[in-house]
Amino acid sequence: MACLAAPVACMAATAAHQPDRLCPSALTSAIPARQSSAPGGREFVSRVKGMNSDERESRILAELMDGNIPSFLRRLVPVTFRERLADHRDVKVTLCVAPDYVAIGSDDDYVLMPMRLETALLFDDSYGFVLPTRKLVDEIYGQAQIHLAPQPLPASAAMRSTNYYWQHNEMVRGQRSDWRLPQGTLTAGDKKDLVLTSRLWRYPERVAIYGWHRIDGRPIQPLSTLHGARYADYSHGVRLISSTAYIDDQAQPLLTLLGDPQLAPLFNDEGVIPEVARLVTILSTLKLPPRQTIGLRSAPATLAAAE
């Protein structure tokens, strides 16, 4: 997180050395155009307030799949860092990431939208994105030009309610308005991330979360797989990461890199995620009754070595 101490200066230096071609608009072109009749964030929240969590989740996915997201989230920004491989070779890594967490609505009227893991993965897989790892969340925070201080709400069953979703959204928007920087500026600190981790091979019926960094750079939430996969609360966010990453400006599939023993440490502080593409497929299609547990029988034989 080399940009943490002086993020504005570091961000400017990074941008100055990034060819525009590294995060082209083509990376988000598969997402349908937002329709003029699509509800804004406030209207969407009003529509789903009386729904149960399953009905609400269905509407979240439908809006996302229809392209009802702000235009500023379609302009991915580069996050670039340098790493040294085990063979002592220095490489430059570039990710193309959304400047904030997934939202429903327009640029002027949107709601940052928590969602279940399955919803996030179905949207990601349909339009060319993947979830970050813990390491990538840290890298994004370190290079964010806007750092918002976390604003936890009182813990209760209401954390999963639409009212809490909207209340926290308005708190974050109030914070964001204090920054005289345009939409599309890389922003972090407003939500925890849904992340990929090898732990999900052991607990595929759960969701992995991490982050919500304080201003000093320390995360409130350590990597956790405590909650079931159907769980989402107001503090959760989904960061769109392009499934195309760049090593020394050469495009490569990010999921392939996460499974490469030499290159995975560039993206994941746990090392290789075994058979990560299969893991994502399992997580996006798994239908479990409450509290059912799946053990290591579902995991690849390479998991023990990877951990």
28-74 pLDDT tens trace: 999 999 999 999 999 999 999 999 999 999 999 999 999 999 999 99
Which is higher by pLDDT, 197 or 301? Answer: 197
Q: Is residue 74 part of a domain?
A: yes
pLDDT in tens, 232-259: 999 999 999 999 999 999 999 999 999 9
Q: Is residue 232 part of a domain?
A: yes
Q: Is the pLDDT of residue 11 over 70?
A: no
Q: What is the domain range of residue 284?
A: 7-31+38-306
Q: For residue 108, what pLDDT is reported?
A: 96
With beta carbons less than 8 A apart as the criterion, state whether 63 and 51 touch. no
What type of residue sits at position 98?
A
Give the helix ranges, DSSP H, for 186-275. Answer: 199-202, 254-258
CA distance 137 to 24: 21
Burial (CB count <10 Å: 0-12, 13-18, 19+), residue 122? middle
Share of the chain above pLDDT 70, in %: 86
With beta carbons less than 8 A apart as the criterion, state whether 280 and 267 touch. no
The dihedral sign for the CA sequence 61, 96, 229, 275: positive
With beta carbons less than 8 A apart as the criterion, state whether 8 and 145 touch. yes
CA distance 243 to 131: 9
List b or e across 69-94, with b for residues whose CB sees 16 or more CB atoms inside 10 angstroms.
Answer: bbebbbbbbbbbbebeeeeeeeeebb
What type of residue sits at position 31?
I
Share of the chain above pLDDT 90, in %: 83
Angle, vertex CA 110, rays to CA 109 and CA 113, nearest 5: 165
Q: For residue 22, what pLDDT is reported?
A: 80
Find the length of the chain: 307
Q: Is residue 2 part of a domain?
A: no
Q: For residue 201, what pLDDT is reported?
A: 97
- Stretch 277-291: mean pLDDT: 79
Number of domains in the chain: 1
Q: For residue 18, what pLDDT is reported?
A: 43
pLDDT in tens, 67-109: 999 999 999 999 999 999 888 899 999 999 999 999 999 999 9
pTM of the model: 0.87
Q: For residue 301, what pLDDT is reported?
A: 55
Q: For residue 4, what pLDDT is reported?
A: 41
Mean pLDDT of the chain: 89
Question: In 34-137, which ranges are E strands?
Answer: 77-84, 90-97, 103-105, 110-112, 129-130
Q: Is residue 1 part of a domain?
A: no
Q: For residue 209, what pLDDT is reported?
A: 98
Which is higher by pLDDT, 286 or 140? Answer: 140
Q: Is residue 220 part of a domain?
A: yes
Residue 298 banded pLDDT, cuts 50, 70, 90:
low
Per DSSP, 20 falls in state G
Burial (CB count <10 Å: 0-12, 13-18, 19+), residue 9? exposed
Q: For residue 3, what pLDDT is reported?
A: 43
Q: For residue 294, what pLDDT is reported?
A: 41
Q: Is residue 199 part of a domain?
A: yes
